[in-house]
Amino acid sequence: MSEKEEAEYLINIENNLVSREKIDIKDKNFEKVMFLYRAALKQLKTKIDILQEEMKLFSEYEPVEYVTMRIKKPENIIEKLNRKNLSLTYQNMFDEIEDIAGLRIVCNFKSDVYKLVDIISGFQDVRILTKKDYMKEPKSSGYRSYHIITEVPVNFSSGIMYVKVELQIRTLAMDFWASLEHKLKYKNQQISATDSKNLVKYAKVIDGIDESMLKISNNIENSNPKLIIEAAEEKVKAKKFNFKL
Ligand code: GTP
Ligand code: MG
């Protein structure tokens, strides 16, 4: 792409976002908008990767098991706009759908989830739009997780743009439940009342196991103050990053 083409390309993106133009998922404009979300996701993923490396290297603290990312399928974006009774415009897509780009951080213990929420909330350049603590208040399905809707800055040749990314932070145990529950419900929309009740019950059982694992971890920390987890806790708390080696 020539420089001139590239500049026009970005100007077009901006025009599309402010226009009331109808979404056409087969259109080039749709591809351009999706490019924005992919770019934002890459930016946030890089921030999380750097954070992970920093914590490992400087604090020997490794709370994250894995990170996954996904971009919502075009047909699901349309379905969601329809479900929300919104007209199918790029403007509505950009303003009203908060989970087109999604990043999930799966960590070890419940305490890690809150630590990560704190750290990410402190990122200077990432805007935090909303926080939902489904660990404190699980959904009626039994679902537990911590959700943050962020706006991530992305530098383009024509300037900076803030793009929404939904961040889900949960433990391995919560992820196990959510993944299976999603698969079971996806396969069978007409899940029976008994199965639904059982899913809620098992979510509670799994939460009990999460609590117990955290207790064991705390016991180990307390009996061995030199252990990495405690050392990390102190260092992670520090507000200013200290480059002393
Ligand atoms: P959506 O319209 O689905 O985006 O819901 P929302 O905008 O009210 O946001 P919410 O925070 O409730 O849920 C967003 C995302 O969390 C979903 O897209 C799922 O990934 C996940 N989620 C929410 N509830 C459940 C649940 O009961 N089971 C599972 N497996 N995942 C859930
Ligand atoms: Mg959502």
112-132 pLDDT per residue, tens: 999 999 999 999 999 999 999
- Measured from the Cα of 139, ligand 1's closest atom is 27
Cα separation, 145 vs 137, in Å, equals: 9
**Which residue from 94, 97, 98, 80 is spatially nearest to 30, judged by alpha carbons?**
94
Closest-approaching ligand to the CA atom of 165: 2
pTM of the model: 0.87
125-163 pLDDT per residue, tens: 999 999 999 999 999 999 999 999 999 999 988 788 999
Which pLDDT score, from 0 to 100, does residue 61 have? 87
Give distance in angstroms: CA of 216 to centre of ligand 2.
Answer: 34
The set of protein residues with a Cβ atom below 6 angstroms from ligand 1 is 99, 132, 139, 141, 143, 147, 178, 181-182
Burial call 194-209: b when 16+ CB within 10 Å, e when fewer: eebeebeeebeebbee
Give distance in angstroms: CA of 58 to centre of ligand 2.
Answer: 35
Q: Confidence class of residue 91 from pLDDT cuts 50, 70 and 90? A: confident
Percent of the chain with pLDDT over 70: 83
Mean pLDDT confidence for 187-192: 80
Contacts 24+ apart (CB under 8 A), 54-61: 55/232, 55/236, 58/235, 59/228, 59/231, 59/232, 59/235, 59/236, 60/228, 60/231, 60/232, 61/228, 61/229, 61/231, 61/232, 61/233, 61/235, 61/236
- Range name among 8-12, 154-158, 207-211 with the lowest pLDDT average: 8-12
- Range name among 14-18, 180-184, 216-220 with the lowest pLDDT average: 14-18
Give distance in angstroms: CA of 97 to centre of ligand 1.
Answer: 12
42-80 pLDDT per residue, tens: 999 999 999 999 999 998 889 999 999 999 999 999 999
Q: Write down the domain spans for the chain.
A: 3-220
Which pLDDT score, from 0 to 100, does residue 4 have? 60
Pocket residue to mutate for ligand 1, from 139, 169, 174, 175, most atoms within 8 A of Cβ: 139
Cα separation, 9 vs 1, in Å, equals: 10
Q: How far is CA 232 from CA 56, 63, 225, 236, in A?
A: 9, 10, 11, 6
Residues annotated as catalytic are 166
The domain 3-220: what is its CATH number? Answer: 3.30.460.10
Residue nearest to atom 5 of ligand 1 (CA): 99
25-43 pLDDT per residue, tens: 888 889 988 999 999 999 9
